[in-house]
Structure 1
Amino acid sequence: MERYYFDLYNSEHCQVDDQGQLFASREGARLEALRILQDIAIDEAPGVERLKITVKLRNAEKVQIFEASLTLDSAWN
């Protein structure tokens, strides 16, 4: 098991993960990063016209190894 850290960024603030989570593989940590993006989008998207969320994944040495972003733009014509 290896510890991975999930730092969150959106248009308003960032949240640095200082505790991390244990995963058996990098793929498991990648899937968790994507799940985090989905959960945040479900919570935040209904009230905004524009949203960008980024999850940066760091390994046990705290080196960034993966990044995933989700961008939502919505507007009336």
Structure 2
Amino acid sequence: MPRYFFDIDDGVRDLRDNEGVILNDREHARQEVIATLAQLANDKLPNGNNHTFKASVRDETGTRIYEAALTLTSGWVP
């Protein structure tokens, strides 16, 4: 089974995955990175109103094969 690497940018840190995880296929990697973004947002968003989380998936050759971003823009209505 192939190994996939998940690089995460939470707006504060840009983290490069050097270990990766073994998954069945590209679709499982896509699902995993989306779930990771959702969890990261859930953990970090109470600390602010505006934030963008980005992630990308690399395959075993180091080629970026998928990108995703999750953005929250919020504020009080005057």
TM-score past 0.5 threshold: yes
Unaligned stretches of 5+ residues in structure 2: none
1:31-74 Cα offsets, whole Å, 9 max, x none, are 00001001001100111111100111000001100001000011
Structure 1 residue 3: deviation in Å?
Answer: 0.4
Which letter does structure 1 place at the counterpart of 2:18?
A: D
Residue matched to 2:62: 62
Unaligned stretches of 5+ residues in structure 1: none
Where in structure 1 do 4 or more consecutive aligned residues deviate above 3 Å? none
TM-score of the aligned structures, taking structure 1 as reference length: 0.96
Which letter does structure 2 place at the counterpart of 1:68?
A: A
- Structure-2 separation of matches of 1:29 and 1:55: 11
Structure 1 residue 13: deviation in Å?
Answer: 1.3
Give the aligned CA root-mean-square deviation in angstroms.
Answer: 0.6
How many residues get paired?
Answer: 77
Alignment of 1:1-77 (within 5 A): 1-77=1-77
Which letter does structure 2 place at the counterpart of 1:59?
A: D
- Structure-2 separation of matches of 1:13 and 1:42: 17
Percentage identity across paired residues of the two chains: 32
- Structure-2 separation of matches of 1:42 and 1:11: 14
Q: SS state of the match for residue 45, structure 1?
A: helix
TM-score of the aligned structures, taking structure 2 as reference length: 0.95
